[in-house]
Amino acid sequence: MKLIIASNNEGKIKEYKEILELFGYDVISQKEAGIDIEIPETGTSYRENALLKAEGIYKLTKTAVLSDDSGLSIDFLNGGPGLYSARFKSELSQKEKNQYILNEMKDTDNRNAKFVCSICFIFENGEKIEVQGICPGKISRKIEGERGFGYDPIFIPDGYDKTFSDIGQEEKNKISHRAIAIKELIEKLKNKN
């Protein structure tokens, strides 16, 4: 079955392809589906934003769609960048954003953080499944690792002493917020069959 990922984020699409193609889905990006729009993320929660994006693409295609909204919530920054993770300090490169966060936190031991991912899956018939995954961890004291994307080089998941960038994609795909949400989604998809 063809499944459109309602995103233009290459790192996110790569993760979804690696995970969902194992379950028989023909995963394509929004761009590969010929859709050149950005759905405004005007929701007040990850769930609302995921739903807005999925419904927007579904209305255009009537094809199965998966959308997520995810972000990094840092206790010391009052939950920020949170919903605005992708748009946080948009004038900066991602590496500069990561460094900005480390600079803001340089004098604190309160490094608790979590990645959150809400997924909305819409079937061809319009039926929806919604799930959420949370990966708790902490913010590192320096940028570490070359792999991954976004805030991966500064996030150390609980139970590890390396950042998402250092542990590698295969391991990340087992423990990340997105992986947790996808596991729940897959269980719900299996129960549908």
Question: CA end-to-end span of the chain, whole Å?
Answer: 13
pTM: 0.89
Q: What is the pLDDT of residues 52-111, one digit of tens each?
A: 999 999 999 999 999 999 999 999 999 999 999 988 999 999 999 999 999 999 999 999
Give the 3-state DSSP-derived string for 94-149, with helices as H, strands as E and coil as C: HHHHHHHHHHHCCCCCCCEEEEEEEEEEECCCCCEEEEEEEEEEEECCCCCCCCCC
- What is the per-residue pLDDT for 193? 59
Active site residues: 69
Burial class (CB in 10 A: 0-12, 13-18, 19+), 58: buried
The arithmetic mean of pLDDT across residues 2-16, rounded, is 86
pLDDT tens digit string along 139-167? 999 999 887 789 999 999 999 999 999 99
How far apart CA 91 and CA 162 sit, in angstroms, is 28
pLDDT, residue 110, reads 97
In terms of residue numbers, what domain contains 165? 2-192
How many domains in the chain? 1
Average pLDDT of span 43-56 = 96
- The CATH number that applies at residue 106 is 3.90.950.10
Reading the block at residue 78, the tokens are 């009052």
